[in-house]
Amino acid sequence: MTRSHRLPYGGRVDRSAPLRFTFDGVEYTGLRGDTLASALLANGVLDVAPSLYGRRPRGIATAGVEEPNALVQVDGPCSEPMRLATTVELYEGLAATGLCGLGRLDPTPDETVHDKMHIHTDVLVVGAGPAGLGAALTAGRSGARVVLVDDQPEPGGSLLAGRESIDGRPALDWVADARTELATQTDTRILTRSTAIGYHDHNYLLVAEHRTDHLGPHPVPGISRRRLWHIRARRVVLATGAHERPMVFAGNDLPGVMSAAAVRAYVNRYAVLPGRRAVVLTTNDHAYATALDLVAAGAQVAALVDTRPKPPADLVDRARGAGIEVVTGSAVVGTRCGTAVPPGDGGARIAAVRIAALDAEDAISGPIREVACDLLAVSGGWSPAVHLWSQSQGTTRYEDEQAAFVPAQAAQDVVSAGSARGVLDLAGCLGDGFAAGAAAAALAGFPAAAAPPPPCSGDRPPARPRPVWIVPGETGGPADWHDHYVDLQRDATVADVQRAIRAGMRSVEHIKRYTTIGTAHDQGKASGVSATGVIARLLGARSPGDVGTTTYRGPYVPTSFALLAGRERGALFDPVRTTSVQPWHVDHGAVFENVGQWKRPRYYPRPGESMAAAVERECRAAREGVAVMDAGTLGKIDVIGPDAGEFLNRVYTNAFAKLAVGSARYGVMCRADGMVLDDGVTLRLADDHFITTTTTGNAAAVLDWLEEWLQTEWPELRVRLTSVTEQWATVAVVGPRSRGVVAALAPDLDVSNDAFPFMTARRTRLASGVEARICRISFSGELAFEINVASWYGLATWESVIRAGEPLDITPYGTETMHVLRAEKGYPIIGQDTDGTVTPQDLGMEWIVSQRKQFIGRRSFRRADTARGDRRQLVGLLPVDPAVLLPEGAQLVADAEVSPPAKALGHVTSSYRSAALGRTFALALVTGGRNRLGETVYAPLPGGVIAATITDAVLYDPKGTRRDG
């Protein structure tokens, strides 16, 4: 393939490094230093993919992140959609295809590594153009820690695309010196290929660094592909530059219509001539440089069309001196499409523009003239890149002099510098950057000597632009202008905006959503302010400032989820907590379930055994023989101090102050609104020492809750709280034959019911020599012992329990069996059978609510809503067909024949098959449930209606005859 449009000299490309690549299956050659877009242009390829809705041909329109058109999917082990050809660096073997607005998610797992770094800095400078480099230099000289981030492979910013001079030398020589100096500063870090994507509270910024993408799609050993930097900065300097705006005129979307600044970048930075016969259309001074650079590169500039009746004379003279016809007070009012020149290079592209004079009201005021061209370089003015500024909650204001929204009031410790705040000439940007860097360092505590910026040439402060927000069509009115494109990626036109306004919309936010303007991948980076201008014109507003902009949201550029996830995926997604007994569970084939971050054995299937069969076997062992469970995940909190009893008295609904040392008591705690927060057994180990247990998944929240009351309401109480969940291993030995097992384990302990009654605890030394605390606590209704040892001895103690129980066929059981056993007894699980709207009374636990003392939430039980009799109450449910299992969460209604809308009576909270009952059963919260015992309720489900009878919640051993063995 020909590299027909590559200039023979110049540019930041390496002519000794040709790179082969394919686009849409066709092979081409580019150079190191190219982007995919510049390499395509060098090969005469302009149109990347048709537009999303209208299927109109669309070409590369810009040279950066603001690109609205050139979306590609980049091949690789896991291909990546929605990349921009203008930001993809070329590498050997790159293969990409054009996308018309929609990418394809590759289902292949992405094997490349993404990671994160967290750093603090005194001064963060975003953007390494003239202002950013100046800011970093002066800040770095002060000794402050400085981080300079820039999205390009090398610093320089706009200087990479220009031909200006600094200090009497080419500007890029100054850039090289600046980089060298920054590299010698010990506390300055330069991140290239790094885009600041988010500006969050308190100067917290996210920066996406592409570390290996320029080398190819494959993992590079020892280096992550991309890295997300989390940067906390004392001061931030935003030197993010400005985006050149497109203009809105008929046929402004043809391939070959390109940003004038982009044309200049392709010529100077990439040594590519995007067209041979160009027309330049501008509202401001900047495009004159593009025209002159095109001529210097050997292209013909057929006309330079300036909307201003009187552009600066020196610029006009220079252009005319270069042989360019300058047409003032005019605009391009239409384009004509042709095929590419030479033929065969691709599809449609611009062939001619139609030029006409505009009067002061922007109306066409003269004859129309057609000028042939294959490139139209457009400068609709400059919009400071205020995206990060706005994300930081800084305000913007519209500046008529510049026809731009510029930063106004800062909300954080940040300044904008250079063209990011509307300073558009090189000397101004350098001076602004030097001053901003010194000021930022000083405010961060590093006074810096103010150095004057170096002198520069080739640029000067621009004259006032003349924005023309809508170049009128040759016929009709705005409602007819269906090819005046406002947002190229969304195919949204002036006619669409007019339709939105006729539908009654006035707010820019409403019009955005109605027309979808600014909602594509580019978020209207280049076109957003143009859209505001169009809306202002159509509304008859005085200025775009009266309309405003839509909200700028992060991320600034599309960001992959793989980068956001970093290494926190798969096994590292969330910390995994296991007890000391875990190796035994794994060795014995336990099936695990997640309870919060804990891995808990759910059941222990024998080879070939189903879950239902395993759970039934485990339940039978607990009810008829002896079974053992790892209860080490239960939350445990040491409550220590002279006022510990008083503290617990205020927290729990029942009394603890007079609990005897060595005894245990079940307690329920409520929030101030009277709803159940947690439950558990508390043990008194000494006068001033309690150990309280919490629900497994609720331990941290309960500790927080206790600390809150202790510190903020009752600081006079002498109590300390310590989480000891991880310090103790707990083995529950359960069942009518458990006493013999414990006797064998603890030979010094009298385990008889008289000597060791229910809800007491004993300290003893096990036969193994391990110190243990054994409690008689039951969560199954059976005789049961909980053996607590230091976690170090958890596994050994568990194994000794298994050995001691072997003659009795001791059976390990998991959480599923635990749930069945407790549900048979009507014991609720807080968080499963309750949902934050359930009182102790709703659970049938009036007995646990003290009438004689104050506690958190007590007053709420007298509120009308908590005292009413038709609250949802916990009851048992027996399906009429004893083989049918109600699904948990099923809604319950009063009638078998139900048609929506029907009032729900309640819902199923727990549902199991019971070996002991020989049938299925469930727990449910039912409106006025305890007055409905014996009534039938219905669960309408997709497979049919399940009928069930309401019963008391306690279905097994209601008299409690089994707990003492």
Partner 1 sequence: MLLIACPWCGERDELEFHYGGQAHVAHPADPEALSDGEWAEYLFVRDNPKGPFAERWSHAAGCRRWFSVVRHTVTHRILAVQSNHPTAADGTKPVTA
Q: 3-state SS string over 485-520? A: EEECCCCEEHHHHHHHHHCCCCCHHHHHHHHCCCCC
Q: Binding segment for partner 1 among 501-509, 531-539, 621-629, 851-859 (CB under 8 A)?
A: 851-859
Q: Give the span between the Cα atoms of 244 and 65, in whole angstroms.
A: 12
Q: Are 66 and 525 in contact (CB under 8 A)?
A: yes
Please select the residue that binds partner 1; options are 15, 859, 889, 896, rule is CB under 8 A.
859
CB of 142 to partner 1, least distance (A): 22
Nearer to partner 1, 183 or 572 (CB): 572
Binding to partner 1 (CB under 8 A): which residues in 232-261?
Answer: 232
Q: Binding segment for partner 1 among 101-109, 258-266, 711-719, 874-882 (CB under 8 A)?
A: 711-719
Please select the residue that binds partner 1; options are 97, 335, 412, 693, rule is CB under 8 A.
412
Please select the residue that binds partner 1; options are 16, 186, 475, 712, rule is CB under 8 A.
712
Binding to partner 1 (CB under 8 A): which residues in 376-405?
Answer: 393
Here's the x/- map for partner 1, 689-708, by CB under 8 A: it reads as -----------x--xx--xx
Taking CB under 8 A as the rule, does residue 574 contact partner 1? Answer: no
Which three-class secondary structure state does DSSP give residue 180?
helix
Question: Six-digit token pair at 695?
Answer: 């629900």
Nearer to partner 1, 365 or 711 (CB): 711
Taking CB under 8 A as the rule, does residue 715 contact partner 1? Answer: yes
CB of 694 to partner 1, least distance (A): 15
CB of 712 to partner 1, least distance (A): 5
CB of 851 to partner 1, least distance (A): 12
Taking CB under 8 A as the rule, does residue 411 contact partner 1? Answer: yes
CB of 844 to partner 1, least distance (A): 24
Taking CB under 8 A as the rule, does residue 860 contact partner 1? Answer: yes
Q: Are 221 and 111 in contact (CB under 8 A)?
A: no
Please select the residue that binds partner 1; options are 187, 673, 888, 964, rule is CB under 8 A.
673
Nearer to partner 1, 803 or 863 (CB): 863
Question: Six-digit token pair at 690?
Answer: 């309690």
Nearer to partner 1, 236 or 257 (CB): 236
Here's the x/- map for partner 1, 738-767, by CB under 8 A: it reads as ------------------------------
Q: What are the Cα distances from residue 437, in Å, to 57, 137, 399, 888?
A: 45, 7, 25, 62
Taking CB under 8 A as the rule, does residue 551 contact partner 1? Answer: no
CB of 697 to partner 1, least distance (A): 16
Q: What are the Cα distances from residue 106, in Å, to 72, 110, 113, 197, 567?
A: 14, 9, 17, 24, 20
CB of 409 to partner 1, least distance (A): 10
The residue with tokens 């510098």 is 417
Nearer to partner 1, 106 or 673 (CB): 673
Taking CB under 8 A as the rule, does residue 685 contact partner 1? Answer: no
Q: Are 663 and 760 in contact (CB under 8 A)?
A: yes
Taking CB under 8 A as the rule, does residue 368 contact partner 1? Answer: no
Q: Are 921 and 908 in contact (CB under 8 A)?
A: no
State the virtual CA torsion across 181, 213, 119, 395 in degrees, nearest 10: 90
User: Kind of pairing, strands 188-191 and 146-149?
Assistant: parallel
**What stretch of H or E contains 817?**
helix 815-824
Taking CB under 8 A as the rule, does residue 564 contact partner 1? Answer: no
CB of 651 to partner 1, least distance (A): 12
Nearer to partner 1, 758 or 861 (CB): 861
Q: Give the span between the Cα atoms of 494 and 492, in whole angstroms.
A: 7
Q: Give the span between the Cα atoms of 486 and 470, in whole angstroms.
A: 9
The residue with tokens 């982009």 is 262
The number of angstroms, rounded, from the C-alpha of 569 to the middle of its chain's C-alpha atoms is 14
User: 85: phi > 0 → left, psi -120 to 50 → alpha, else beta; which?
Assistant: alpha
Which three-class secondary structure state does DSSP give residue 361?
coil
Nearer to partner 1, 397 or 464 (CB): 397
The number of angstroms, rounded, from the C-alpha of 601 to the middle of its chain's C-alpha atoms is 33
Nearer to partner 1, 464 or 553 (CB): 553
Binding to partner 1 (CB under 8 A): which residues in 153-172?
Answer: none
Question: Six-digit token pair at 489?
Answer: 């990626």
Taking CB under 8 A as the rule, does residue 727 contact partner 1? Answer: no
Count of helices and strands (H, E) across the chain? 21, 48
Taking CB under 8 A as the rule, does residue 672 contact partner 1? Answer: yes
Which three-class secondary structure state does DSSP give residue 663?
strand
Nearer to partner 1, 204 or 666 (CB): 204
Nearer to partner 1, 78 or 410 (CB): 410
Please select the residue that binds partner 1; options are 450, 551, 863, 887, rule is CB under 8 A.
863
Taking CB under 8 A as the rule, does residue 108 contact partner 1? Answer: no
Q: Which of 774, 783, 773, 776 is nearest to 738 (CA)?
A: 783
Nearer to partner 1, 433 or 857 (CB): 857
Q: Which of 254, 200, 188, 190 is nearest to 232 (CA)?
A: 200
CB of 705 to partner 1, least distance (A): 10
Give the full edge-to-edge strand order of the sheet including 728-734: 761-765, 771-775, 784-790, 728-734, 627-630, 811-812
Q: Binding segment for partner 1 among 50-58, 162-170, 852-860, 934-942 (CB under 8 A)?
A: 852-860
Taking CB under 8 A as the rule, does residue 666 contact partner 1? Answer: no
Question: Six-digit token pair at 927?
Answer: 């409106």
Q: Which of 484, 535, 482, 539 is nearest to 513 (CA)?
A: 535
Q: Give the span between the Cα atoms of 199 and 396, in whole angstroms.
A: 16
Nearer to partner 1, 236 or 529 (CB): 236
Nearer to partner 1, 585 or 650 (CB): 650
CB of 707 to partner 1, least distance (A): 5
Q: Are 469 and 533 in contact (CB under 8 A)?
A: yes
User: How many CA atoms does the CB half-sphere of 86 hold within 13 Å?
Assistant: 23
Nearer to partner 1, 55 or 118 (CB): 118
Nearer to partner 1, 232 or 913 (CB): 232
The number of angstroms, rounded, from the C-alpha of 559 to the middle of its chain's C-alpha atoms is 10
CB of 115 to partner 1, least distance (A): 18
CB of 836 to partner 1, least distance (A): 14
Q: Are 389 and 296 in contact (CB under 8 A)?
A: no
CB of 859 to partner 1, least distance (A): 4
Burial class of residue 593 (count of CB atoms within 10 Å of its CB; 0-12, 13-18, 19+): middle
Binding to partner 1 (CB under 8 A): which residues in 182-221?
Answer: 200-204
Nearer to partner 1, 145 or 739 (CB): 145
Taking CB under 8 A as the rule, does residue 553 contact partner 1? Answer: no
CB of 597 to partner 1, least distance (A): 14
Q: Give the span between the Cα atoms of 71 and 86, in whole angstroms.
A: 9
CB of 863 to partner 1, least distance (A): 6
Taking CB under 8 A as the rule, does residue 854 contact partner 1? Answer: yes
Q: Are 745 and 804 in contact (CB under 8 A)?
A: yes
Nearer to partner 1, 233 or 766 (CB): 233
CB of 443 to partner 1, least distance (A): 15
Q: Give the span between the Cα atoms of 377 and 350, in whole angstroms.
A: 11
The residue with tokens 């027909």 is 4
Taking CB under 8 A as the rule, does residue 16 contact partner 1? Answer: no
Q: By CB under 8 A, name the binding residues for partner 1.
A: 200-204, 232, 393, 411-412, 672-673, 700, 703-704, 707-708, 711-713, 715, 854, 858-860, 862-864
